[in-house]
Amino acid sequence: MPKIEAVCLGVGKGASYVMKGITSTAFTVLIDDAPLFQVDMGGGVARACQQILGRIPNRIYVSHNHSDHAGDLAVVIHLIDNPCIMAHPTVIENIKQHRLHDAPATQQRSIEKITWIEPDAADQIQIDALHRLTLTRSQHVYTTYGFVLWRGRQPLLGYPADTGYNEMVYRRAAQAPVMIVDGRATGSAEHAGFEDIDAFAQKVPHCQLYVVHYESGDYAFTSGNVRLWHPGDRVTLLEG
């Protein structure tokens, strides 16, 4: 049985990297220390991959096309062999049109070598023979999709991506024993607040919640199964 982990690369929000040099929110799922796939590639994430992982994974899931989730993509596709981008079709279209829009002039060869992987009719992306993602729409003004990671019939990780607090979205992610959730000290329609996350954690004692996208600071959660995640931290999804 392999050991499967998620490692935090950054917890920054919208302008964190540009204004403060704080790496955008991103993490990597590892199997026996080898990357299975990368989740988001915003500002500073490529450098964090090199520093924390020693490499940039070539299989990248992109939740949506905001710069703090896709800003490093145009550079990364030059640096890795056989880049593979997994995303919802609407997200892929946004990336092609708006993130990589200058491809004909400057990046055509890099664009052409990308393998684009969309979900099937059941909103599933098959990563390999054992692992798959089931995608779910987030509550966000920009088209955004989170996922649940499965190994066979076993859910390992829920990631709602950028989303306002929405119990239905959270419940889908809570099928897994671990959730990585977007959170802010003060919530909004697009980003869940710490108080809402804390209250939800009490409803799902079987699930451990790790909060990202808060940039910096601390918070005293009352629930024992929720805490802020920090760059370099690892969480075990499956014991080896």
Q: What is the pTM of this model?
A: 0.96
Answer for the pair 160, 145: CB distance below 8 angstroms, yes or no.
Answer: no
Percent of the chain whose predicted confidence (pLDDT) is above 70: 96
Span 43-53, average pLDDT: 97
Q: Supply the pLDDT for residue 112.
A: 81
pLDDT at 126 over 70: yes
Span 75-84, average pLDDT: 91
Strands, sheet with 145-151, edge to edge from the N-terminal-most edge strand: 124-126, 131-137, 145-151, 154-161, 178-182, 208-212, 226-228
Q: Which tokens sit at 235?
A: 């969480």
Q: How far is CA 44 from the centre of its chain?
A: 14
